[in-house]
Every structure is written in C-alpha cells, then in structure tokens.
Chain A
Amino acid sequence: MLLGENITLAITSLKSNKMRALLTMLGIIIGIAAVIAIFTVGNSLTISIEESLQSMGSNDVYVVVSERSQEHDYSQKIDGAEYPVSDSDAEMTDSDYITSEMIREMYERFDDDIYAINISHSAGRGTAEYRDVSGRVSLVGTTVGYFITSPIDIVAGTMLSQQDYNGQRMSCLVQEDFAEDMFGEVSDAVGKVIDVELEDSNVSLTIVGVYKSASASGMSGMSMLSLGGSTVYLPLQTAMAITHSKDQFSTIRVSAAVGVDTEQLSKNIKSFYEPYYRNNTDFEVTVMTLESMIAMLTSMLDTITLAISIVAGIALLVGGIGVMNIMLVSVTERTREIGTRKALGAKNSSIRAQFIVEAIIICLIGGIIGLILGITAGVLLSNYMGYPAMPSISGIIISLAFSMGIGLFFGYFPANKAAQMNPIDALRYE
C-alpha cells in the first residue's frame, strides 16, 4: 500500500487522540532527549578538554607523585597509561615528595631529551599596593621552563633573569591590565616596588617586566591558581621562600626536546624515580604524557556517557513498550475498522503496514520532539558549564533512526495482530 496514504492515516489517527498520542510519545521524548543532551554535553566536554590539553603542548610529560596502587584494583590500565585513583587514607609526608635534588639529577640524566622543566608554586593570594592604589593579585612562583612551555609576551621591561632565579630575588612580572590599573601607563610599572599583603605575611616585589594579558597561559592548568586576582609571576625559589615551603614537589611538567619520543621519555623518567620510591609503601611516581591523559579523560568520559546512555536506553525501551501497549489498544479499538478494510479488499500486508507506519510515526514525532528538547538542554548545559556546545550529528541521526527502529520493533507485534485478524470476527466485533 502507498506509504503516503499510510502516513496520512497515521496522522489522522493520532490527531483524533491527541492526549493519548502525546502520553505515548512521552517515553520516547524523554529517552531521546536524554540521549541527545548527554551526547551534546559529552561531545562538548571531550572537545574542550582535548583543546585545553592540546594547548599545554604535546611534548609535555607530567611527573606526579601519586598513591601506590595496592593490588592494582585502585589503578586501571587504559591505552597503556596507568592513572592513579587517589585514596584519602594516606597523607603525603615530607619524604614522599620529589626534591629539587632529584629534579636536578633527572635533568642531568636526560639532558639531551629534556627541553625544559616546568614547576610552579602558588605563594597565595593577596592585595598589592602602590601608594594609594591597590589590586588583587595571585602570586605564582615558576621556573624558567614555565615560560618556555607556556610563552608570554613581555610588553615592557624584561623577563625574569637568571640572577632573579638564582638569587631568589624579590622580582616579579605583572599583567598588562594590572599595570595599567595601578600605574596608568604600562611602562611606568617597570622598576616600581609593590607591597603585597598576603594572608600571613607581607612582601615587597620589584616589577621587572609587564606581560601581555590573555597570554598563551590562558588555558594552562597553572592559571587556575590565579583565579580571584591578576597573576604575578616570581621566581620559584622566591615563592617557596615566601610560604616557607620545604624543598618538595608533587607535580613536575617536563617538556621533551624536539624529536624526542615522549612515550619513551616517560618510561625513562619513571624508571629514574623507581629507586627513590622502591621502599615507599604508600606512594610512587606516575608519569603521564598528554596523549595518555587525553586517552584517560576520553575513556572516562566515554564510560560516563555509556553509563548514562544505558539508562536512557532503558527509558527508550520503556517508551517502546508504551508504544506497543497503546498500539495494541488501538488495534483492539479499531477491530471493526480492520474488518471493514479487509472486506473492502485490504490485504493482510496492507493492514500490517498501516499499523507499523502509525507506530513509527508516533516514535518519529516523539524522537523529533525529544531531539529538539535534547539539543536545547545540551546546549544550555554546555554553555552553563562554559564549554562550546557541540550537538553530535551522528548522535542525531542515530537517535532518529533508533526511534524509528523502536516504532518498527514495537509496532510489529500489534500490527501483525491486526493483520492476522479474521475478517468476520473483526466485522462482528462490538
């Protein structure tokens, strides 16, 4: 029978029972909306995480002190990378940290392979004052390597010099916006001394340079430390001295030299630290590359997406059963009509097609409504979380095809029941 006629028939039938059709669709709407929303958010999240990780540089290797996995059940192997699952039971003690001595030795051992070592240390947040003007700042101590891997543009003055680093000088770099706010002209900032009032100490820092705002460090992980104030960079040792920190580190970023295999380097670094941590029962050193981090995050996201999709799939299944139920009611209600159609020359296949098309139409309309709701919810959620919304095209196509599939699958049984009806019994049905 003609498809167009069946579609018209189905729509006529749905129109005559709007409330019922809507309630029937609801299961499909919710299921599809959930799937689409999840895929949109998941997609956006994956893309932004990948983008932000990419901005860190693909040559980087992260050396992290992490809790030792006791029986391998705290750690999962994903694409060859181990990632630790933190357990709050063990606290890090002084002997668990990486010392600057170790870092120096590592640098010497892999001199040819390492381009830069990048460590930062937050010296806290506070208020900077110059005469009567003040502004919120966040002090971040860094190594020379930090600026190699996350370059910044100096717009006035100079970079922190080797003397600044070695001599633990109270020198700093300030942001362009900050300099303008405090001193009016960017160039006026250079050479000025600002007094920074921290939580438990006061320090005076000499501005040696001004860096351009919205620099490449914008997306770097360390910029998180600057939340709530303009980032002021100072030498690492200076920052550590301000906070009276011991010579210990838990995270180091190593940039590999050009042409060096980061996977190989990460293995080498891991074996370098092995002797130091051999007798440490609680902690070990984990080395991750950007690729393994992306793989790990993507795989985590995929797992979450899969889990929620299963729930959404169950919603769709329930929705499908709802469609089947209402189609059975519809077939029973229209028994006489089916008998009449058969008397008028309808073949079993025509009757079957009529009801299958009706079920598919219910599911498809539900699917489209769900799609619109899902994309809307996904975009709103993505924007709310601050990621660019990325509705997944394949997700849209799959979910529409899936909703039609549900219609076909759950519509077949009721439609077949209608098709198999004995015309006489159907005509006599009261």
Chain B
Amino acid sequence: MASIIKLENIVKKFYIGEPNELEILHGVSLEVKEGEFLSIVGPSGSGKSTLMNLIGVLDRPTSGSYYLDGIDVEQAHDNDLSDIRSQKIGFVFQTYNLIPKTNALRNVELPMLYAGVPKAERRRRAQELLELVEMSDRANHLPEELSGGQKQRVAIARAMANNPAIILADEPTGALDTKTGRLVMDLFHKLNEEQHKTIVLITHSPELAEETDRIISIRDGNIVSEVVKRDVDSKRKATVEGQVL
C-alpha cells in the first residue's frame, strides 16, 4: 500500500540565526500508509505538535523533504499549501475551533466554501455529514449552544467536508470527559474503517493510542519508538472482504 505521508529527515528550527535559535525536530523520518490509523504520543514540548503542523502543511520544515499524496510540499507555494489543506487534510483541534456566531451547518460548509463547492451541493453535503456524526438535529445551533462533545462532532464533520484523504486530530479528546471522549474516538474508528480515512492522532493518553494501528513515540524532537498493533494491508483486506460478505 502506498504511503500517503512521507517525511524524510525533517528538521525544524525556530528563531533561525537569532541567539535563542531552537531546534525542535532533529531529523524525523516517518511514513504513513493510506488508510492507517496512526497515533503520535509524547510529553509536552517533545515536538509532536510541530510535527503535526508540518504534516498539515500549516508550516514548512527547515530542511528535509515531505511528500504528501505524491506532492512535494517543498516546491509548493503558499496558495498551493492552502489548496492542499483544503483538498487533502481535515483538521480536528483540541479546542474545536468552530467559527463563533456561525451555526453548525455553516461551520461544516466552510471548507467547501473555500474549495469553491456550489451552494446547493455544500448544503446537501453538510447535512449529510452532520447526519454521519449524529448532529442533524443541532444543525442550526450556534457553537456556544453546544456541549464540548457536540462541538467536537461538528468539528469532525467539518474536517470531513471536502472528503480529505487525511484527518489530523490534535488531542481531540483532551478537553472532553472520558465518556464523550469515547464517542469521539468511536467516530474516528468509524471513519477509518468505513471510509478508509488516514487518521493521524496526537494524544497524551496511552489507552487511546493503544486502539490505533501504530503508535509513534516522540521525545525531544526524535522518534524514540514505534509499535505496530495491526498491519494496515491486512486490515484493509479484512474490511473489503467483510463488505463482500
């Protein structure tokens, strides 16, 4: 199976050339296969968020190469990066980051708006996605009228709007209680299994990481361990067979 994410020897420095120059990532190499559910764990300040930002093309590496779905990110212009984020990546944040004063439906529509999807199609798909996350009845509610779990479900629906290949979730359950966190995790499993989304999950919780296909541990800017729980190719095969049956 092809690698959808391919990082090679990524170095990320901040404050380059200044006295307080800081190297956060010291040459990280990582490949993520299509359909894989990967978790990245590590203590605060280990560089996992920086890695996440690089994977999500919100930032560029100082050196090293990054191929995302075959695209050389190094060569891409800023506008191209916007397009990549729009088409290939769905972000889920710890703090939900729903647009305030904007109802759930319009929040879900937003990525499609930037992708230039026509209005009727946008609305139809947004409703479909809210149904998927079981939030149809709250479509017209404003974010401030929703609970944390509900907000995160809307955010996941929003991340799915342009049918991206990858979902990047940065501590998606960090602000939720165990029970709601469980629901959100179930949703990720559902997306991974039913829609074959590649999911990169950043988490503090070892239990949640245990549920994923592969666990990458990062410490002080280096990958220190890698635990494979399930082989992606066989999982995919099983799913396909399951559908046949």
Contacts and interface: CB of A to CB of B under 8 A. Distances in A.
Interface of A: 1-2, 5, 12-13, 15-16, 336-337, 339-350, 422-424, 427
20 contacts: A12-B101, A12-B102, A16-B101, A337-B97, A337-B99, A337-B100, A339-B97, A341-B114, A343-B85, A343-B97, A344-B85, A345-B87, A345-B111, A345-B114, A345-B162, A346-B82, A424-B53, A424-B58, A427-B93, A427-B97
B56 interface: yes
B78 interface: yes
A342 B58 contact: yes
A345 B93 contact: no
Interface in B57-100: 58-59, 78-79, 82-83, 85-87, 91, 93, 97, 99-100
Contacts of B56: 343
B43 to A, nearest CB: 18
A13 B102 CA distance: 10
A288 B103 CA distance: 72
B184 to A, nearest CB: 18
Given A342-B58, A343-B85, A423-B59, 17 more contacts: A1-B113, A12-B102, A13-B101, A15-B101, A337-B97, A340-B97, A341-B99, A342-B85, A344-B86, A345-B111, A345-B115, A346-B114, A347-B114, A422-B59, A423-B58, A424-B59, A427-B93
A121 B71 CA distance: 97
Contacts of B197: none
Categorize the interface residue count of chain B.
20 to 34
Nearest to A336: B97
B110 interface: yes
A5 B93 contact: no
A2 B111 CA distance: 13
A428 B95 CA distance: 10
B158 interface: yes
A342 B91 CA distance: 11
A2 B116 CA distance: 8
Contacts of A422: 59
Interface string B103-122: 00000001101110000000
Nearest to B158: A344
A424 B113 CA distance: 21
Interface string B149-169: 000000000100010000000
Interface string B30-61: 00000000000000000000000100101100
A2 B117 CA distance: 11
Nearest to B168: A343
Contacts of A16: 100-101
Contacts of B102: 12
A342 B82 contact: yes
- Kindly name the residue among A344, A346, A348, A422 whose own CB sees the greatest number of chain B CB atoms within 10 A: A344
Contact of A347 (B59, B82, B99): B82
A348 B79 CA distance: 8
A334 B87 CA distance: 24
B87 to A, nearest CB: 7
B78 A344 contact: no
Contacts of B158: 344
**7 cross-chain pairs, A with B, having the tightest CB-CB distances, nearest first:** A345-B86, A340-B97, A345-B114, A347-B82, A344-B111, A343-B91, A423-B58
Contacts of A348: 78-79, 82
Contact of A344 (B53, B101, B110): B110
Contacts of A423: 58-59
Contacts of B113: 1-2, 5
